[in-house]
Amino acid sequence: MSGIRDLDATIAARAGADPDGSWTAKLLAKGPEKCAEKFGEEAIEAIIEAVKGDRERLTSEAADVLYHLLVMLHARGVTLADVEAELDRRAGVSGLAEKASRSE
């Protein structure tokens, strides 16, 4: 998934760029709430394509979702490394076992 790391680095680099020349800079300049709103919109569009079963459209919307997720995380100072550390923490723990431990 080096593509995601490259994209994350691009987003970080664009953060201080001129909003007139970068969608990322423009979105970040609008604040974390707007970034979260856009992420929500893109997630809904992906849900619609998943329900419809359009593989090509779902792939495209999934790319939008990942991009907007990274922008939203950046807006709140959460790094991809933070998320990867959380994923690593969960690795090897069954989701069923984790759920059971929460309901005790």
Q: Which residues bind ligand PRT (CB under 6 A)?
A: 7, 10, 14, 22-25, 64, 67
Sign of the alpha-carbon torsion through 50, 43, 3, 81:
negative
* Nearer residue to ligand PRT within complex by CB, 14 or 74: 14
Which residue of the chain is nearest ligand PRT when measured via CB?
A: 24
* Nearer residue to ligand PRT within complex by CB, 10 or 57: 10
Q: Are 71 and 13 within 8 A, CB to CB?
A: no
Collapsing DSSP to helix, strand or coil, 20 comes out as: coil
Biggest CA-to-CA distance, the chain: 52
* Nearer residue to ligand PRT within complex by CB, 34 or 102: 34
- Minimum separation from the CB atom of position 40 to ligand PRT (A): 11
Residue 28 to residue 36: CA distance in whole angstroms: 10
The secondary structure of residue 7, as a DSSP letter, is H
- Minimum separation from the CB atom of position 96 to ligand PRT (A): 34
Residue 94 to residue 75: CA distance in whole angstroms: 31
* Nearer residue to ligand PRT within complex by CB, 29 or 81: 29
- Minimum separation from the CB atom of position 18 to ligand PRT (A): 10
